[in-house]
Structures are given as structure tokens and as C-alpha cells.
Amino acid sequence: MRYLYSVIFGAFLGFTSTILHNAWQPFGFLLSLIFIFLGVRLLGIKFYYRKYKVIAAIGWLLVVLRAGTPGLGDELLIYGNTYGNQFLLFGFVTAFLAVITPRSTNSNFARRNYL
């Protein structure tokens, strides 16, 4: 069940960051990067193991890559402009940093049911 929750949460992060990155430039772009980092980190705090953060990052990556390719009606959610290219690059770097960042040992967050 935790695997499924991680994939769904990563896909939700991918969808919200994809919609937000082009909304209010440059604030939406920065907010989407912050949401990616905090979302993956909070999932790692909640489930304690790094494998769930990796699964969430893969779910995010799958949604973002699909949003960057043309659909049936030639629609794109991530354009090939400056913000779109930076979102793909910095979003991947942010997700990678969120996965490899070690968890806090003195956090009491995981014992509470916030997520």
C-alpha cells in the first residue's frame, strides 16, 4: 500500500508542479521547485525509507515526461521555452536532491499522522 501511495503522491506532485511552473512566472516556477523538494522529503519522513522517496520521484518524472510530449491533439503542458526547459532540468535536480538528502534523526514528524 505504501508503494501505491508513493506512486500516486509522486504523480500528484508531477501534475501540480507541471501546472504551476508556467502559471505566475517566475513565482510559479519557484513554487513548483519548492513543492517538489518538500513533497518528496515529507514522503520520506512519513515512510522513513529512501525507497519510497525514489518511487515518488519516479512517479513525478513519469508525469513530467508525459506532460512534455505532444498528446493526441498536439497539446503540450510543458513548452520548450525558457521556463519549460529550466523546469525539466531543475525539477529533476530538485527531485534528486530531495531523494539523496539524509533524513533528520531528531524529527518527531513521522510519529504524527500529518500526511
Rounded (10°) angle between helices 50-67 and 2-20: 40
Q: Supply the DSSP symbol for 102.
A: P
Please report the pLDDT score of residue 58 as a whole number.
95
pLDDT, one tens digit per residue, over 17-31 is 999 988 888 898 999
pLDDT of 99 strictly over 60: yes
Asked whether residue 111 carries a pLDDT value surpassing 60, the answer given is: no
Backbone torsion region of residue 98, taken as left when φ is above 0, otherwise alpha when ψ lies between -120 and 50, otherwise beta: alpha
- Tens-digit pLDDT profile for residues 78-97: 887 888 899 899 999 999 99
